[in-house]
């Protein structure tokens, strides 16, 4: 299973956030393959997006300025890691937060890493995704197009009829940042 190419990430951040729905996030941890289909994302821009870490360029947010296709992992609230995929053209800031997964491989290992929680609560939040898959700051900067331990591979096509779009959750900033419809949720139909 080959990773998505750099060209997938080197485009408009909101378009990448939508396109990531249904793709397969893969983490190989201690020789075990853990994977899930991405079912929730949020897009973050640059200086025009007060909700983004790249609103101001800092040592932490510098990775968001490219090149695209790398992992941006950060630690938040002193307890959670969050995984983003860097997007947009090199030099233009952007990243997509992976907010949720539908487990596809290694669910028992993920559940063990999450303390045996109910499967519905296993990876339904960005911190839960990272805890379940063992994603930490050690993976910040990893090339998602080339790394064997963490990458995003092609998954399934998600029809527009199964996608809900809304403003991002819990963001700060001005009204424009809080109201941007940059959260994408795959609402699977049975």
Q: In this predicted model, what pLDDT tens digit does every residue of 108-147 receive, in sequence order?
A: 999 999 997 888 899 999 999 999 999 999 999 999 999 8
pLDDT of residue 152: 98
pLDDT of residue 190: 46
pLDDT of residue 6: 98
Give CA–CA dist 153/23, Å, rounded.
6
SS3 for the chain is: CCCCCHHHHCCCHHHHHHHCCCCEEEEEECCEEEEEEEEEEEEECCCCCCCCHHHCCCCCHHHHHCCCCEEEEEEECCCEEEEEEECCCCCCCCEEEEEEEEEEECHHHHHHHCCCCCHHHCCCCHHHHHHHHCCCHHHCCCECCCCCCEEEECCCCCCHHHEEEECCCCCCCCHHHHHCCCEEEECCCC
The structural domains of the chain, ordered by start, are: 6-186 (3.10.300.10)
Largest CA distance in the chain: 45
* Phi, psi of 44, deg, nearest 5: -135, 135
Q: Is the pLDDT of residue 189 over 60?
A: no
Q: Is the pLDDT of residue 5 over 80?
A: yes
pLDDT of residue 118: 84
**Is the overall model pTM greater than 0.85, yes or no?**
yes
Average pLDDT value over all residues in the chain: 95
Q: In this predicted model, what pLDDT tens digit does every residue of 27-38 receive, in sequence order?
A: 999 999 999 999
pLDDT of residue 188: 79
pLDDT of residue 39: 98
pLDDT of residue 116: 79
CB atoms within 10 A of CB 149: 13
Q: How far is CA 24 from CA 4, 27, 112, in A?
A: 10, 10, 21
pLDDT of residue 90: 94
Proportion of the chain above pLDDT 90, given as a percent:
91
């Amino acid at each position: 299973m080959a990773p998505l190419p750099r060209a997938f990430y080197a485009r408009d951040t909101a378009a990448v956030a939508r396109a990531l729905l249904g793709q397969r996030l893969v983490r190989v941890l201690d020789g075990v393959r853990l994977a899930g289909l991405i079912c929730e994302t949020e897009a973050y821009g640059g200086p025009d997006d007060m909700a983004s870490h790249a609103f101001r360029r800092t040592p932490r947010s510098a990775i968001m300025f490219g090149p695209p296709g790398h992992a941006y992992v950060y630690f938040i609230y002193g307890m959670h890691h969050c995984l983003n995929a860097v997007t947009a053209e090199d030099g233009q800031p952007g990243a997509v937060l992976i907010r949720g997964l539908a487990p596809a491989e290694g669910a028992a290992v993920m559940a063990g890493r999450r303390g045996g929680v109910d499967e519905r609560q296993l990876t339904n939040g960005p911190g839960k995704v990272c805890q379940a898959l063992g994603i930490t700051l050690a993976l910040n900067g990893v090339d998602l197009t080339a790394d064997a331990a963490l990458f995003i591979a092609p998954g399934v096509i998600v029809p527009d009829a199964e996608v809900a779009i809304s403003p991002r959750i819990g963001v700060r900033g001005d009204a424009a940042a809080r109201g941007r419809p940059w959260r994408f949720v795959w609402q699977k139909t049975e």
